[in-house]
Homo-oligomer: A and B are copies of this chain.
Amino acid sequence: MTGFGLNNLPYGVFSTPGGAPRVGVRFGDQVLDLAATLDDSTFAAPSLNPFMAQGRARWTEVREQITGILSGGRRAVLHPLADVRLHMPFEVADYVDFYASEEHATNLGRMFRPDSAPLLPNWKHLPVGYHGRSGTVVPSGTGIVRPTGQRKPPGQESPDFGPSRRLDVEVEVGFVVGTPSALGEPVPTGAFADHVFGVCLVNDWSARDIQAWEYVPLGPFLGKSFATSLSPWIVPLDALAEARVRTPTQDPRPLPYLVEDDPWGLDLSLALALNGTTVSRPPYASMYWSPAQMLAHLTANGASLRTGDLYASGTVSGPSPDQRGSFIELTWSGQEPLKLPDGSTRTFLEDGDEVTISGSWGDVSLGEVTGRILPARR
């Protein structure tokens, strides 16, 4: 049933012509109008935040109600998907981006720091991450204006300023926090499902030339902050219960606060398509750090969580070349262009290119996140 059967039931925000944005659930090629069906004003909000703030017990209860309604043929207000407009599913509080793929970190290390060991000494001890810009997280389909910035190509004495020539994507999976936590109180790995509401797809657009020049010593900034695209449907953790797998063996053994008793690796299959051609199939199961470990690390210092916090996995790259989740890796920094079916080649993104990331576990679809490159502003 197109990946959106009774075992999925992801949440999003939609509007019908003339109507206000409100919470819906995707079921096949229809959208269940939750406020109208359940007569609950929580779902009349233009974001999932009020519902997500209600916590795990309530999420379970509503999922059961919806399953009952859709399987029992009870009264349900449904709209054809083709007739609705999709919006940002939630208001992003803080956005954190991790770096949890060993293959990706190794590949980037080789390209950005060719003279030293690709994996830095801390990488296998903690899930490396940093804060991104939550104000520029945009819904799937938003046009991406090619960013302008400082670039200093190798061999050039000083930087110049202009449109990025190395515009790239990062195929990532995002985790959305529902239940907040108190300042000063770490969230252990075992409390992951109490706090995380669901999962989505993220395209962390990256301007590699801007990033390479700016990123020492405080990390990526303008090379990332122009846009991050989000898929419209947030898949509940419950829908992915059987997708859970152990992470690859972690050696050295993580410090106790990062040990997870129940595995939260996820066996998701991802795909990256450029102008309709699939160019990569990154396997999420290869990620070194699990999302429960990321959450435990993010809060280990007492940092509090808010409803709407989003954290992403970092680029998902598998061990084989056709599993790499970014063009900088797929084309090895532009040295090995991709050949496309129309005979053209591609290193980094060109104006007009459309990128689509999709993902699924079995017949549970994460949907897709798309974006088209618009020319730089003059």
Q: Which residues of A contact B (CB under 8 A)?
A: 93-94, 96, 99, 109, 112-113, 120, 122, 125-126, 128-136, 138, 145, 147-150, 152, 158-161, 183-186, 207, 210, 213-223, 225-227, 252, 255-257, 297-298, 300-306, 309, 374, 377
Contact = CB atoms under 8 A, between A and B. Distances in A.
Most buried by B among A128, A160, A213: A128
Contacts of A99: 218
B150 A125 contact: yes
Contacts of A210: 301
Given A125-B158, A126-B150, A131-B131, A136 B183 contact: yes
Contact of A135 (B215, B217, B255, B306): B306
A318 to B, nearest CB: 21
Contact of A221 (B130, B138, B150, B207): B130
Most buried by B among A133, A147, A256: A133
B159 A125 contact: yes
A223 B300 CA distance: 11
Contact of A133 (B94, B148, B257): B94
Given A216-B122, A218-B219, A218-B220, A145 B225 contact: no
A182 to B, nearest CB: 10
Given A255-B161, A377-B184, A222 B135 contact: no
Contacts of A257: 161
